[in-house]
Amino acid sequence: ILEHVARPGTCVVGLTATVERGDSRTLQPAFPGGIAYQLPLAEAIEEGYLVPFRAVREDAPGLVLDEVTCWGGDFGQASLAEALEETAIDHWAADACRKHASGKKALVFTGSVNLAERTAFELNERGIPADWIAGEMEMGRRRAVIDSFKRGEILALCNCQVLTEGFDEPSIEAV
């Protein structure tokens, strides 16, 4: 992209919040002049820019991912959504939220729009105010749901491929 749009001599500045990528790839080839500054995750936490985190793992009963296709180290979305929807993952996720994040503001990532809607329903059934958003949702409705989440009117916001990059809500306490 840079080769196509940047004229010779153009100064290019690149910023990212994901320097330490899961696939271990680097941005170095895109910036042959070198990386001027990098703030590692541990240092960002130590300096107070990010909060320390605690990870909890629970196995989802009945979930089998052996047949899910993979693309570049990531699960294929359609294949993953199918595997997730064959289980009661929405019930499991709602139970896990209640167990580990009760009373906390949580951002919930789901594998399909259907699961975002179903998980929000299950959270509400368990007394956790929740709603869902998806890319196909009308923009005004999506903004209203996000605003409701930011105001704390809902405690869990279930989303499918919407709040993946550039969403900043400091009041979130669980993901």
Collect all residues with Cβ–Cβ distance below 8 Å to 140 and sequence separation of at least 6.
none
Matching residue, tokens 């910023």: 15
Binned at pLDDT 50, 70 and 90, residue 128 comes out as very high
Average pLDDT of the residues in 75-104:
89
pLDDT value, residue 122: 97
Lowest mean pLDDT among 4-13, 55-64, 98-107: 4-13
pLDDT of residue 74: 80
Determine the pLDDT at residue 15: 74
162 vs 80: CA distance, rounded Å: 17
Q: Indicate if the pLDDT at residue 25 is higher than 80.
A: no
Which of 24, 68, 30 has the alpha carbon at shortest distance from 13? 30
pLDDT, position 14: 75
Q: How buried is 141 (Cβ within 10 angstroms: 0-12 exposed, 13-18 middle, 19+ buried)? A: exposed
